[in-house]
């Protein structure tokens, strides 16, 4: 039974004198390799040149603030529940009077820790979050660490800096896909990144 048309009949015919001389075939091969020798190299030299990985790449975590600079996280624990690697842990605390400018809701995370050795960057925390507080940055990796105390990231590293807000071109996969189609059609050339919806 023939499944595809790609199969090739095996031939045991004697090689011609030209084929047995090897040299023409070798010259052909040499021509191919020298063409590659002068061809443009495809290598992107990583630490110097960084490639754009797309708007929904999952890099290091960030705890977003809202437009008034208040932390969005309410320490509901849904991210920790969703996390398949059990990398997230937190301690909840009640907002005191006078802290309304710091925390958006009455309850907040006094401690929020992500174990970067456990994290598998699946993005389930991002999807689980009802307050749009935790995101995986598309533009930064977790840097290489060499010490144990660099492994667990606390709020000092995770919470967003208001002077250097984290923005993206697309916040959901659907938006990213729509953006890609628009780009492919040539409708969009430059998208201004926007803050959290």
Partner 1 sequence: MDLTEFLIKTATIFVVFVLTLVIAMYSTWAERKVAGFIQDRMGPNRAGWGGLLQPLADAGKMFFKEDFIPALANKWLFIAGPSLAMLTALLASAVIPFGSTFRFDGHEVVLQGVESNIGILYVFGVVALGVYGIMVGGWASNNKFSLLGAIRAASQNISYEVAMGLSLIAILMMSSSLSLGEIVAQQHGGNWNIFYQPLGFIIFITCSFAECNRVPFDLPECETELVGGYHTEYGSMKLGFYLFAEYINMFVSSAIISVLYFGGYNYPGMDWVYTQLTGSFGPELGHNIATLIGTAVFFGKALFFIFFYMWVRWTIPRFRYDQLMNLGWKKLIPLAIFNIIITGAAVLFLKPVITAWLN
Q: Name the site residues for partner 1 (rule: CB under 8 A).
A: 23, 26, 29-30, 32-34, 36-37, 39, 41-43, 45
Which is nearer to partner 1, 34 or 102 (by Cβ)?
34
The single residue listed with the structure tokens 């754009």 is 52
Q: How far is the CB of 168 from partner 1 (least distance, A)?
A: 32
Q: How far is the CB of 58 from partner 1 (least distance, A)?
A: 28
Strand segments (E) across the chain: 61-63, 88-94, 107-115, 134-136, 152-153
Q: How far is the CB of 51 from partner 1 (least distance, A)?
A: 15
Could you give the CA distance from residue 25 to residue 35 in angstroms, rounded to a whole number?
A: 16
Which is nearer to partner 1, 13 or 36 (by Cβ)?
36
Which is nearer to partner 1, 36 or 97 (by Cβ)?
36
Which is nearer to partner 1, 35 or 97 (by Cβ)?
35
Segment 125-128 long-range contacts (CB within 8 Å, at least 24 positions apart): 125/61, 125/79, 125/80, 125/82, 125/83, 125/88, 126/58, 127/82, 128/78, 128/79, 128/81, 128/82
Q: How far is the CB of 16 from partner 1 (least distance, A)?
A: 16
């Amino acid at each position: 039974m023939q499944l595809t048309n790609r199969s090739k009949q095996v031939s045991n015919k004697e090689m011609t004198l030209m084929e047995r001389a090897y040299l023409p075939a070798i010259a052909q091969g040499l021509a191919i390799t020298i063409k590659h020798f002068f061809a443009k190299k495809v290598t992107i030299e990583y630490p110097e040149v960084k490639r754009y990985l797309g708007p929904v790449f999952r890099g290091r975590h960030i705890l977003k603030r809202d437009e008034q600079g208040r932390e969005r996280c309410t320490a509901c624990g849904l991210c920790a529940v969703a996390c398949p690697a059990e990398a997230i842990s937190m301690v909840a605390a009640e907002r005191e009077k006078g802290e309304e400018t710091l925390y958006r809701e009455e309850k907040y995370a006094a401690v929020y820790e992500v174990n970067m050795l456990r994290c598998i960057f699946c993005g389930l925390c991002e999807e689980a979050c009802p307050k749009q507080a935790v995101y995986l940055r598309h533009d930064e990796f977790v840097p290489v660490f060499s010490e144990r105390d660099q492994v667990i990231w606390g709020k000092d590293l995770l919470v967003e800096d208001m002077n250097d807000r984290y923005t993206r071109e697309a916040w959901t996969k659907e938006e990213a896909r729509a953006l890609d189609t628009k780009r492919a059609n040539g409708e969009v050339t430059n998208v201004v990144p926007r803050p959290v919806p």
